[in-house]
Amino acid sequence: MTIMKFSPLYFTITFLLLLTSSCSETSKETATMLVYGGTIYTVDSTSTTVQAVAIKNNIILYAGNLSGAEQYKTEETKVLDLKGKTMTPGFIEGHGHFMGLGYNELNLDLMNTSSYQDIIDAVAERVKTAKPGEWIVGRGWHQSKWDSMPSEVVHGFQTHHLLSEVSPDNPVFLKHASGHAGFANSKAMEIAGLTNLALDGIKKFEVEGGEILVDALGRPTGIFNERAQTLITQHIPERTPESDKKAFELAIKACHKNGITSFHDAGIPKETIDLYDEMKSNGKMDVRIYAMLTGWDKDLLTDWYKKGIMVDDDHLFTIRSIKLNCDGALGSRGAWLLEPYTDRPGHFGHETLPMEFVKETAVSGLKNGFQVCSHAIGDRANREILDRYEIAYKSLPNATKDHRFRIEHAQHLHPEDIPRFAELNVIPAMQAVHMSSDRPWAIDRLGEKRIKEGAYMWQSLLQSGVPIVNGTDVPVEPINPIASFYASVSRKTLKGTPEGGYEPDQKMTRAQALKSYTLDAAYGAFEEHIKGSISIGKLADFTIFDNDIMTIPEDKILTTKVVMTIFNGEVVYNSEKKNTSSLLLMKIQLMFK
């Protein structure tokens, strides 16, 4: 009989293996939630779809086949059967105005008005319940989207007379859908001291970077373009802490209902920062906010340069970028162009922020680790900003390794400037739904040549090597991501026109469109390592649709609904649960009849 001899080293190794095995058994990871039963798109290059996802608290534990996911299941694991529905990473609103979204729910929402008369009717209805002298404010009208124009117009805009008739005692100020113009009634202009302007005296009321539209006699029409809006808005009573909190809560609900789990908030002041801090402390920050400091407040920027960026360990409220508003919008003819507007000869739009300040901010951003995000719609604004970014990069070459500077909108570009985004590593944050809403009338502003060569150039930018951050610019457009996804892949209006889409060579593929709302949007906020794809170790934020948006016929995309939103590993919106509750309530009511 052979006797095997074992060295002391053998016994040591064996003991360690047994100990490791025992520890791994006792500390085996278990899932708090398991999701399966539908199509799950990961936006992860290693595996585009998976059968199941296991979550531990708010982190993705596993993504793969169902049998692998079930290894993490215990009696305490919540099991979510998708029942054939489609799940994606949580959608990210890549450029919006969070408090604007909330206040749109509180104030007059004029998003769906289709005529000047619709505005008059909405204001007249609000006058009935308004207190004497109370301001009536709202947002969302867009004259270029109306079915018809009133008989009296100045530079393509309505005049205030009908509005003033229905609200003679209540001051009214209604923001254009773009936010780059406003419409005031006579009472509001009287409070601002602007009713008796004569043409010769208008200059004393001009604002740098803005314009008061006047009629042939020099009387204000009620339209205040760009920074001239401050002549009216400075007289509107400030928001209250109570209304801010209500608007915040309404914005959270709107995000959940539309499958939005993260939000790039494009320009916030100190007061909003304080509100967000309070809401986070109170456990009410149920959307991940990536905030841009408003560039209007130089003192605010100086304070934050001293503090440095704020990256939240809880990934709920992060500040590491600056928003600069550098021109206006096409709808109000405020976008800054290299050549005059086709439908307003001699007019080039507005430089709403000095380019010298853009350069200074770009340099300061690089020095202090802040991303700079500049609003630019017109081709001149885009060129001027790219020029200033390039100057800043050359002055601080060692600070440009991962700056991720952005241009917000990048809506109209000169063809020579398209490759510069990739050359300078500048990210275009573009809202595809703007093309859907604006393209039918934008050709009147720019003409066919400029539209075809440089407007909404998604595929050209993607092919040049830069990602696109998608979104809606809410409340300029409704926050619904389905509309923007549809516009991305169809290049059509939301009515499905024209056949084949506008400039179809610029369509995104469905994979590109999904990535622009998830992983590329996360990249635009330096957060691709924690979200944007369904990958192990990332945050458990998901959007669940009733249709497979990646495969259904194009004309069915707009019928798709968000049926569930999972944020931080918890179901925060469930349309089916709501419906079930409604049915139960109806049954109870019938029992008592």
pLDDT over 70 (residue 581): no
Residues 6+ apart with CB under 8 A from 560: 482, 545, 546, 547, 549, 552
Which amino acid, one-letter code, is at 120? I
Instruction: Specify the pairing of strand 371-376 against strand 49-56.
Output: unpaired
Residue 591 has a pLDDT of 39
Peptide bond into 132 cis (omega under 30): no
- Identify the three-state secondary structure at position 344: strand
- Identify the three-state secondary structure at position 495: coil
Q: How many residues make up the chain in this entry?
A: 593
Q: What is the mean pLDDT of the segment spanning 513-536? A: 98
Which amino acid, one-letter code, is at 40? I
Domain boundaries, the chain: 28-90+532-593, 103-233
Band (239; pLDDT cuts 50, 70, 90): confident
Of the candidates 361, 250, 365, 371, the one whose C-alpha atom is nearest the C-alpha of residue 321 is 371
* Tens of pLDDT, residues 11-35: 444 444 444 444 444 357 999 999 9
- Identify the three-state secondary structure at position 563: strand
pLDDT over 50 (residue 203): no
Distance between CA atoms of residues 506 and 503, nearest Å: 6
Q: What is the 3-state secondary structure (H, E, C) of 455-480?
A: ECCHHHHHHHCCCCECCCCCCCCCCC
pLDDT over 90 (residue 74): yes
- Identify the three-state secondary structure at position 36: strand
Judge contact between 326 and 378, C-beta under 8 A: no
Distance between CA atoms of residues 158 and 178, nearest Å: 16
pLDDT mean across residues, the chain: 91
Residue 579 has a pLDDT of 47
Distances (CA, A) of 136 to 241, 244, 454, 585, 591: 19, 17, 39, 36, 44
Residue with tokens 């998608």: 470
Architecture of domain 103-233: Roll (3.10)
Per-residue tokens: 265 = 């908030």
Residue with tokens 């008989």: 151
Look up the CATH number of domain 28-90+532-593: 2.30.40.10
Of the candidates 390, 379, 520, 532, the one whose C-alpha atom is nearest the C-alpha of residue 449 is 379
- Identify the three-state secondary structure at position 220: strand
Angle, CA of 557, 560 and 566, to the nearest 5°? 125
Residues 6+ apart with CB under 8 A from 447: 342
Residues 6+ apart with CB under 8 A from 35: 52, 53, 54, 55, 80, 82, 87, 542, 566
Residue 36's Cα: distance from chain center in Å? 30
pTM across the whole model: 0.83
Band (307; pLDDT cuts 50, 70, 90): very high
Judge contact between 184 and 204, C-beta under 8 A: no
pLDDT over 60 (residue 160): yes
Of the candidates 384, 387, 385, 427, the one whose C-alpha atom is nearest the C-alpha of residue 405 is 427
* Tens of pLDDT, residues 386-415: 999 999 999 999 998 999 999 999 999 999
Angle of helix 98-106 versus helix 241-257 axis, rounded to 10? 100
The beta strands (E) that lie in 417-517 are given as 427-429
| Least confident interval from 141-150, 383-392, 447-456, 474-483 | 141-150
Angle of helix 355-368 versus helix 298-307 axis, rounded to 10? 20
CB atoms within 10 A of CB 234: 8
Continuous segment of H or E residues that includes residue 166? helix 161-166
Distance between CA atoms of residues 410 and 383, nearest Å: 10
pLDDT over 60 (residue 593): no
Judge contact between 180 and 161, C-beta under 8 A: no
Q: What percent of the chain has pLDDT over 70?
A: 91
Q: What is the 3-state secondary structure (H, E, C) of 229-297?
A: HHHHHCCCCCCCHHHHHHHHHHHHHHHHHCCEEEEEEEEECHHHHHHHHHHHHCCCCCCEEEEEEECCC
Which amino acid, one-letter code, is at 450? R
End-to-end CA distance of the chain: 92
Distance between CA atoms of residues 335 and 144, nearest Å: 15
Distance between CA atoms of residues 458 and 418, nearest Å: 10
The beta strands (E) that lie in 13-85 are given as 33-41, 49-56, 59-64, 78-81
Q: What is the mean pLDDT of the segment spanning 66-91? A: 97
Distances (CA, A) of 63 to 28, 79, 524, 548: 17, 15, 24, 19
Distance between CA atoms of residues 455 and 463, nearest Å: 16
